[in-house]
Amino acid sequence: MKKRTKRKKKEISDASLLKLPPLEHEGEKTGKENKNENPTSISNNKINNDINNINNNSSNKNKNKKTNTINTNDNNIINDNINNNDDKDKVKLDFIDCIFFSKYTVIEEIADTDFSKILLLETKDQEKFAAKIEHKKFGRHLLEYEYKIMNYLRGDYIPKVKLYGTSGDYNILIMQVLGKSLDYYIEKLETFSIKTTAMLAYQMINILQYIHLRNIIHRDIKPGNFVMGLNEENLNLYIIDFGFAKKYKSTTTLKINPLTEGHDLTGTSRYSSINTMKGLAQSPRDDLESLAYLLYFFLKGSLPWIGIKEKNKENLDKKILEKKISTVDEILGEDLPIQFCEFLKYSKQLQYDEMPDYNLFKEKMMEVISLGGGKFDKIYDWTDENKLKEEEEEESEEPEVDKVETTCCKM
């Protein structure tokens, strides 16, 4: 398993600083911070229209959109530093010590994905924030959409957005910095205990209920998209990455979108629902089924379709789908509390336009905890830092095995 090494912060001098021009805030000429923390004060009609427009016209918008950027010598420096090889989808530039909005200094790179970078920022007052940055040309142009979704959903389970804007060739989203993802913890511990999984499940169901009641589905449920808070919020769970999220219901008529077929796979095949992999339009039932697979992965450290090898992605997805269909729910949940099997069965039996009974399964997760003699104290398996350190020390030096999963999106 590869370890991320923290880079030492370079000495900042006038000569070494790469100062980006002020970002342009959404709908304004200058990059002003989003100080409004009250979700009800947002113009929901405007945001709904924006989300609808992006859902319906994203591909055309990305081709024809004219963005107002500030061209300076600094932007030319940025462009010259891009590694122009054949892999043009990735953000290649080293942003350490760059300054955004004349206020936020990049002090560390947190993650490097195929289409964006996640950076740790610090202000002069030593406040910490996270930034997600994508190149307008090479990225997937999802940040503006993600910004609108997060603003619309703003609440206890959603990272607080500080600001969104553009600088030169880059789209930048600055938001609340959070702790480590569940992907980090499951890699370290390999499996979670029943109690930890049940406590997480309760919170995850609660989070999905929150976003579904606001007419949004997430469409990419996986360990990396659930993140623990930081400092005083370190026991609370958040959901992130709304690039694939979508409205499934009209906010005016409250009618669900028609059930359609022939959709490309949106999400991660390892956890995607059977109907999603068949090409059917998604609704809340699909988020729940994905969550059920995720819980089994936490409990067992694997799933029957993990490890399937196929060079062609289309054939791989087809084999994963066949394995999901042929796997008996009871066998998948063997030696585990029956509530987890009931949750999977229930999610698979839901109709496309049927709203789940979230409270029923939150109660069932509480049953799992109490029957095991525990209580909902938010003391997780990783709360014991010494145990986590022991796991890190015992990590094998063998090469990391590539994970078999695919993620794609139909715009």
Query: Which candidate, 397, 355, 358, 128, places its Cα nearest to that of 248?
Result: 355
**Residue 178: per-residue pLDDT:** 95
Query: Digits of tens for pLDDT over the chain (411 positions)?
Result: 444 444 443 332 222 222 333 333 333 323 445 554 433 333 445 545 555 554 554 444 444 433 332 222 233 222 323 233 344 445 556 788 888 888 999 999 988 877 788 999 999 999 999 999 988 876 566 899 999 999 999 999 999 999 999 877 889 999 999 999 999 999 999 999 999 999 999 999 999 999 999 999 999 999 999 999 998 889 999 999 999 999 999 888 889 999 999 999 999 999 999 999 999 999 999 999 999 999 999 999 999 999 999 999 999 999 999 999 999 999 899 999 999 999 999 999 999 999 999 999 999 999 999 999 999 999 999 997 656 666 666 655 554 434 334 334 333
**Residue 386: per-residue pLDDT:** 57
Query: Which candidate, 233, 280, 284, places its Cα nearest to that of 259?
Result: 280
**Residue 82: per-residue pLDDT:** 29
Q: Which CATH fold topology does 39-176 show?
A: Phosphorylase Kinase; domain 1 (3.30.200)
The domain limits of the chain are 39-176, 182-408
Long-range contacts of 361-370 (CB under 8 A, 24+ apart): 361/201, 361/205, 362/202, 362/205, 362/206, 364/339, 365/198, 365/199, 365/201, 365/202, 365/205, 365/339, 366/198, 366/202, 367/339, 368/194, 368/195, 368/198, 368/337, 368/339, 368/340, 369/195, 369/198, 369/199
Q: Among this protein's residues, is 384 annotated catalytic?
A: no
Question: Which of the following is catalytic: 220, 286, 317, 381?
Answer: 220
Options 1.20.1530.20, 3.40.50.150, 1.10.510.10, 3.40.50.620; CATH for 182-408 is 1.10.510.10
- Pair of tokens at residue 203: 């919170």
**Residue 249: per-residue pLDDT:** 93
Q: 131 Cβ partners below 8 Å, 6+ apart?
A: 100, 104, 106, 118, 119, 120, 121, 172, 173, 174, 175
